[in-house]
Each structure stands twice: as C-alpha cells, then as structure tokens.
Structure 1
Amino acid sequence: MNSPHHRPSPLSPTGPDIRLVVTDMDGTLLDGDGRIPDGFWPLLNRMERRGIVFCPASGRQYATLREQFRRAAAGTVFIAENGTYVVQDGRELSSDVLDRGIVTDAVGTVRELSAQGVDTGTVVCGKRSAYVERTDAAFLAEVRTYYARLELVEDVTAVDDDLIKLAFYDFGRAEEGLAPALKPYGLTHQVVLSGEHWVDVMNPTANKGAAVRGLQRRLGITPDQTVVFGDYLNDLEMMDTATWSFAMANAHPEIKLRARHHSPAHTESGVVTALASLLGRD
C-alpha cells in the first residue's frame, strides 16, 4: 500500500486520526463497470458513525454525484466539476465562475477543430445544468455518463447560468488532439487532461486541491487527518493536501510520483481495501 518513494506516517494502535476522506470517482472509487463497489457502503456507514466527513471529488456534475450517493447521510460534501463547485446538504460552499470571454473563445476554437474534421464535442458546465449543442447519440452517450442534468441548446455560449467549467470530449486521444489546440489557454486558465478523452478548462484558481484545502480550513481539519485517493492528472493538486494521499495502481505516472502511498487498482476495489486498513475495526 505504501509508495517506495515516501515514508509512511506512523499508525497508532487504533489507526490514524482520520477526519476527512476524499476520493476521485472514475478510475478510482468506481469499479471497471463504473459502479460504486458494494464493499464501500459499510465503510461509509462506519465513517458516518465516527464523524468522518466523506467527500467525492470529481470532474462529474454535482447532480450526478448527488444521485450516485443518494444513500449517503447528511453532511456529505461534494467537490464537483474538478473543484469549481463545492456543495454540502444542498448549500453552496464555494464556486469559481468563468468569465464569458473565455467561454466564447475556447468554444470557438473547438468549433473550428470540429469544422476541420476533428471528432470532438463541447459541454458547457453551469451550476444548474450542463449544456451541449452536439446531439448525436454517440456523443450524448459519453456526456450523460457524467452529467445527469443536461440541456440541448442551439448555442452553448448563450445559456443563462453561472458557468464553472468547459469540458471538451475527443473521440480520439485528447492528449494528442484537443489538448495541444487548447494549450494556449493555459497561459491564463487551468487546462487539464481529466481523462483519456476529456480536456477541461477552468479558472486558474480552480482545482480539486484548492477545493480540499478550502474544506479543511472550513472544518478545522489538518492534512494529517485527511485521506485522498486519485488516479489522473486532475487529481495532482489534491495529492498535496493529505498525509494519506493514495495513487491507484492504475494511476497516471505523475500521480504515482506525487502520492505518498499506493493502493490496488480501481478494478480491485483499491479504495475499499486501503480505507478498510486505515479505519481498522470499530
């Protein structure tokens, strides 16, 4: 479970003093079929009994995360849209709204790529809903995995909502296709590979790590009392917020280097295994 690059923190006989558990979803908590493992729910019950705050942190939409964790008790915190929108019990804790200028400009760049034959699509993410103007079944099937609340519109740049993230899908490898085209926006904004096919554009202050640090300050929780799990580049900053930072066995190499500990792959219930070890017995 420990990374060869880091020394583990000492465990007390009853385990570490954990107060906050944060986990990415895709490639991390979710199994190979995109489901929450059955073994997670008893651990969530144990965390709730101990007063440990649980927090999914994902590029997914708040509405999607809330639906996935409808069995969770009150107090669960949701870090949605890669840290741009943080909600607890239906109440916004923080958000990072995009300027309309970057929305129009970046969407225009991707529209031009599409006109040149690149197979890509745009999701404009707002607090209330996500919005798309590409409507074919193949694209919508990919989008609906992450966005339970979705509206089809004629022009995604003209929607009436607070916009917090731009998510661009590449049916090829985003690292080779979309990412180079969007790289210039990295001079003023966050441009993040959030998966093999997805590139996200957000404000420069927005990332999962910043959201976790804000939550720690709000709750009076230290890095030594925090556990985080992640697998991809949009989890990098989050690895620095916790003494108990775990990279999945299937993680991107940069995540493995940044994390203090390693856990089994998401297809082997790695989060469940590591959490069970950390929590010990009641």
Structure 2
Amino acid sequence: MDGTLLDADGRIPDGLWRLLPRLRDRGIAFAPASGRQLATLQRQFAPADVELDYIAENGAYVMRDGVEVSSDAVAPEFARAVIERVRGLARLDIGLVVCGKRSAYIERSDAAFLAEADRYYARLEVVEDLTAVDDQVLKLAVFDFALAEQSVAPELFDLRETHQVVVSGRHWVDIMNTGVDKGRALARLQDALGIGPEQTMAFGDYLNDLELLRGARWSYAMAEAHPEVVEVARYRAPSHTEGGVITVIEELLAR
C-alpha cells in the first residue's frame, strides 16, 4: 500500500477503480497485501464494485471472496511477553498495537500516537491493560516515532529465535509467528485460486514485501524501493507517485 499502490497523498489512485472490473473480466484476481488490518483494507477498497481478495496483517490473515482462507494467531503467553518487553522500552518514543481478529488494541492514547494508529486500524480500541485483551492476536505492531530499523527494531531482533520480526515500514516493526509473512499468505491464496508463481504478479517497496516478491514470477520493485527489495525483484515499476502499479498492469492488459 504505502510506497507501492497509494499515491503521494496516501490515497488509492482513481485509475484503479476503472481497472478492477477489467481484471475481473479477464479472470484476474486482485489482492491488496498489507500490514494493515483486514477491516481497514475493506474500508479503503469499499468503492470497488468487485469482490477482492485480501492478505492482511502482513500475511497473518487471508480472505478470498469474503471467506477466511487462513489465519495464524500467536500464543497468549508470547503476546503478554512482547507487551511487557515494549513497556520496558520507555526510553524510546514508541507505541504498541495488539492486532486481534476482532479489533486492534492500544494502551497509549496521546493524540500523536492515536493519529498514527487510526491511519491503519479501522477497528481500534483504547484499553487500560493490553495483557487483559480477550481476542486472537494475529500480530503485535510497534510504532516508533524515530526510524524503526535503527531504533526499536534492534531491541526486538532477539525474538527472531522463536518468532517473525519484520521492519514493515520506516516507523513500524511487526511481530508474528515464525513463517508468517506475505509470501506464505500468497502461497495459500494461490492454492485457493489454483495457480502458482508463474501466474502471479506482485509489487513491493519495503522489507516486509520480500517473501511476497519471491512468490511471484512477475515481481516488481517500485522506483523508490528499499535496496534489498530491488535486489530480489525481477523488474522495476515506476514510482507510486506516478501510478506505477496501474501503469504496469495496464501495459500487461494491452498485450
């Protein structure tokens, strides 16, 4: 989404709404793949007049035609341990979002952090104690007002011994079960569709897109993509500010 599909103002380009019915008529499925909450993605794509597939929560939740394909919740005791770990990093300007199936939950509720959480979570609840949340936790997302890759991420990388820790944006780090990523989610969606990598096109710009791109024969790094993404992708797409995703798909349809 950010840095890939969305324009410079963080909006879905108008050209996509005209493109989606054409994809449907050609038998091509369109699936937003994001660290965002499923409810947020569904809200953003509500103007579409076709049913979409979704890879949400960085791959922890996959939906096809409104039916769950897969979900992967972390153990409650691990979620509690992460909550306590983040609480212990008080020297950093960070906030934690506990991403459940029903809603997302936060303790920190100042205006600055709430504004960031609101951008990505259509269903969001402020609670007194995150350890008391009663929901299946798909992901724990840490927002860092500094650069996450240099600030909070190194404080959490030891969790990689047992879980997936991904820098999912300039200010976000996502923590999930081992093996949960957009690539694994794509494989599950491909199985549901009866296709494989040769019939798949994917676009990405940041580190949490690496596995997604590896799962598609037609993999595109956006113009401003992270260097590791450029190295993995087979092709380059114009900038998201120039509608790069739509441009590439239009060229494909014109063949």
Q: Which residue of 2 aligns with 1:84?
A: 60
Paired residues of 1:74 and 1:89 also in contact (CA < 8 A): no
* Residue among 196, 218, 223 paired with 2:197: 223
Q: Aligned-pair distance for 1:174? A: 0.7
Higher RCO (Cα < 8 Å, 6 or more apart): 1
Q: Which has the larger radius of gyration?
A: 1
**After superposition, what is the alpha-carbon deviation per residue over 1:226-277, rounded to whole angstroms, capped at 9, x for unaligned?**
1101100000001111111100001100000000110011111110111111
* Residue among 116, 126, 129 paired with 1:155: 129
* Residue among 213, 216, 222 paired with 1:242: 216
Rate the CA distance shift 1:94–1:73 in 2: closer, same or farther, 3 A.
farther
* Residue among 56, 68, 72 paired with 2:44: 68
Rate the CA distance shift 1:193–1:145 in 2: closer, same or farther, 3 A.
same
Q: Which residue of 1 aligns with 2:19?
A: 43
Q: Which residue of 1 aligns with 2:73?
A: 97
Paired residues of 1:131 and 1:152 also in contact (CA < 8 A): yes
Amino acid at match of 1:240: R
Paired residues of 1:166 and 1:202 also in contact (CA < 8 A): yes
Q: Which residue of 2 aligns with 1:197?
A: 171
**After superposition, what is the alpha-carbon deviation per residue over 1:71-115, rounded to whole angstroms, capped at 9, x for unaligned?**
23454111000000012333211000100122111111111112x
CA RMSD after TM alignment: 1.1
Paired residues of 1:231 and 1:255 also in contact (CA < 8 A): yes
Q: Aligned-pair distance for 1:37? A: 0.6
Q: Aligned-pair distance for 1:177? A: 1.2
The sequence identity of aligned pairs, in percent, is 58
Paired residues of 2:21 and 2:50 also in contact (CA < 8 A): no
Within the alignment, does 1:31 sit opposite 2:7 as a pair? yes
Q: Aligned-pair distance for 1:31? A: 0.6
Moved more, 225-234 or 44-53: 44-53
Moved more, 194-203 or 38-47: 38-47
Q: List 4+ stretches of structure 1 deviating above 4 A.
A: none
Paired residues of 1:48 and 1:73 also in contact (CA < 8 A): no
* Residue among 240, 248, 251 paired with 1:274: 248
Runs of 5+ unmatched residues, structure 1: 1-24
Paired residues of 1:133 and 1:156 also in contact (CA < 8 A): yes
Aligned length: 255
Within the alignment, does 1:119 sit opposite 2:93 as a pair? yes
Q: Which residue of 2 aligns with 1:165?
A: 139
- TM-score of the pair, normalised by structure 1: 0.88
Secondary structure at the aligned position of 2:221 is classed as strand
Paired residues of 1:170 and 1:197 also in contact (CA < 8 A): yes
Amino acid at match of 2:166: V
Paired residues of 2:69 and 2:188 also in contact (CA < 8 A): no
Give the Cα–Cα distance (whole angstroms) in 1 for the partners of residues 197 and 254 of structure 2: 19
Runs of 5+ unmatched residues, structure 2: none
Secondary structure at the aligned position of 1:39 is classed as helix
- TM-score of the pair, normalised by structure 2: 0.97
Q: Aligned-pair distance for 1:184? A: 0.6
Amino acid at match of 1:193: V
Give the Cα–Cα distance (whole angstroms) in 2 for the partners of residues 40 and 108 of structure 1: 42
Paired residues of 2:213 and 2:219 also in contact (CA < 8 A): yes
